[in-house]
């Protein structure tokens, strides 16, 4: 009798006051799934945004586009589409304190940095096949691992070192790939310029991501959706203003009308390529900055590098890019380097879970 009374009391003590037995167990499970659900959504935004933006950017040059500043401007000019989201989320999140002058300074600094990087990527995409361009962008993961080690105290394990090594070899192989049939000295020079600009752009963007994680990690404590959108909006605003100055200062704006009229797919398609390209880059930006602030810049780069197995294949199908033997080997090494890094992330996750399970409960 005593046992049944005790058992009944213990059982009743586990029932929440609202009478919903499942609520006690569902909330932790839901919270855990919510984190992975958000990571999955942000990853999808990065993959779809980056792949579509890269293909549209190459299509712009392939069908008659010639303006470097316009191609760079497209990468940041889509920020007005974030205004409705900013208005919606601002009512649900506390605004940043106006006395925090660090944020405007960071927006201006990183926005200026990003404008230069957008130009490098635009020049690279202008002179390189999209498959080569995408493979070179994969080197960003290796650069980011090194910068994260220096700036964000990321440990360089054997798997990460192996990943950096494979991505470096993959990049070196692309230097020795044969040029297109009938290539002359001018074409080779343009290829070299595109190669250098893309590789430099990948290194600088990796450096920028590590700096953003370090700086915004100290300034933005809540890392809410509204704060993430503000980062993208104001950085893109600064970048777009600088590139607009370059567009008008260089005189390239004078040929935009003729460029649209001479576009092989028609003027309407010309506008659609630029508009959807701008939209795709903003989708990529939202996903990437979210992964940086919610997880880490290294994880964001890992997801971005997934496109190394998608964009080159699409480039061969859509733009008839040549896929030489060296390029195939470079692709395999890049994917191998990516998988090596992913395995290290898996090992770290398993180790973290084991430490959490074995850690003594807090009083």
Q: For the residues of 4-69, what is the DSSP string, one character each?
A: HHHHHHHHHHTS-TTS-TTHHHHHHHHHHHHHHHHHHHHHHHHHHHHHHHHHHHHHHHHTT---HH
Q: Outline where the chain has alpha helix (H).
A: 2-13, 23-62, 68-74, 83-90, 102-127, 130-137, 139-151, 158-175, 185-219, 225-250, 256-261, 267-294, 297-305, 311-319, 325-358
Question: Distance between CA atoms of 312 and 314, rounded to whole angstroms?
Answer: 5
pLDDT value at position 233? 93
The answer to whether 149 and 155 are in contact (CB under 8 A) is: yes
pLDDT value at position 43? 84
With the C-alpha atoms ordered 147, 150, 155, 156, is the resulting torsion angle positive or negative?
positive
Question: Distance between CA atoms of 299 and 345, rounded to whole angstroms?
Answer: 8
How far is the CA of 44 from the CAs of 50, 113, 229, 318, in angstroms? Answer: 10, 26, 17, 22
pLDDT at 121 > cutoff 90: yes
Q: Confidence band (pLDDT; 50, 70, 90) for 177? A: low
pLDDT value at position 204? 93
pLDDT value at position 175? 66
pLDDT value at position 76? 92
Backbone angles phi, psi at 297, to 5 degrees: -70, -30
pLDDT value at position 124? 93
Sequence-ordered list of residues with C-beta below 8 angstroms from that of 240, at least 6 positions apart, any chain = 73, 76, 77, 79
pLDDT at 181 > cutoff 60: no
pLDDT value at position 357? 65
CA angle, 147 as apex, 146 and 150 as ends, to 5°?
A: 95
pLDDT value at position 5? 45
Average pLDDT over residues 35-63: 87
Among all chains, which residue has been given the structure tokens 């130009």? 119
pLDDT value at position 275? 95
pLDDT value at position 91? 62
pLDDT at 98 > cutoff 50: no
């Amino acid at each position: 009798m005593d046992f049944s009374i005790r058992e009944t009391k213990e059982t009743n003590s586990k029932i929440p006051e609202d009478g919903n037995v499942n609520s006690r167990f569902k909330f932790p499970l839901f919270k855990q799934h919510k984190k992975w659900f958000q990571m999955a959504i942000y990853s999808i935004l990065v993959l779809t945004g980056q792949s579509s933006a890269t293909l549209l950017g190459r299509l712009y040059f392939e069908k008659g586009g010639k303006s470097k500043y316009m191609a760079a401007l497209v990468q940041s000019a889509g920020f007005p589409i974030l205004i409705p989201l900013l208005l919606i989320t601002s009512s649900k999140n506390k605004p940043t304190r106006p006395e925090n002058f660090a944020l405007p300074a960071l927006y201006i600094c990183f926005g200026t940095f990003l404008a230069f990087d957008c130009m490098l990527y635009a020049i690279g995409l202008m002179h390189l096949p999209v498959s080569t361009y995408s493979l070179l962008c994969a080197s960003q993961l290796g650069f980011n691992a090194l910068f994260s080690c220096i700036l964000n105290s990321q440990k360089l394990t054997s798997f990460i070192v192996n990943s950096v090594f494979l991505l470096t070899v993959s990049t070196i192989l692309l230097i020795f790939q044969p040029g297109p049939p009938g290539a002359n000295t001018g074409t080779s020079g343009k290829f070299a310029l595109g190669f250098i600009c893309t590789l430099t752009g990948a290194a600088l963007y990796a450096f920028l991501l590590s700096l953003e994680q370090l700086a915004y990690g100290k300034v933005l404590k809540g890392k809410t959706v509204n704060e993430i959108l503000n980062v993208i909006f104001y950085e893109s605003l600064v970048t777009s203003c600088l590139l607009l100055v370059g567009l008008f200062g260089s005189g390239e704006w004078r040929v935009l009308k003729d460029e649209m009229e001479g576009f092989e797919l028609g003027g309407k398609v010309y506008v659609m390529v630029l508009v959807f390209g701008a939209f795709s880059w903003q989708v990529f930006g939202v996903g990437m900055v979210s992964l940086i602030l919610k997880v880490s810049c290294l994880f964001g780069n890992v997801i971005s590098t997934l496109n190394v197995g998608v964009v080159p294949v699409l480039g061969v199908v859509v733009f008839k890019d040549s896929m030489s033997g060296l390029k195939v080997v470079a692709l395999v090494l890049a994917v191998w380097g990516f998988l090596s890094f992913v395995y290290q992330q898996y090992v770290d996750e398993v180790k973290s879970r084991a430490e959490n399970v074995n850690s003594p409960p807090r009083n």
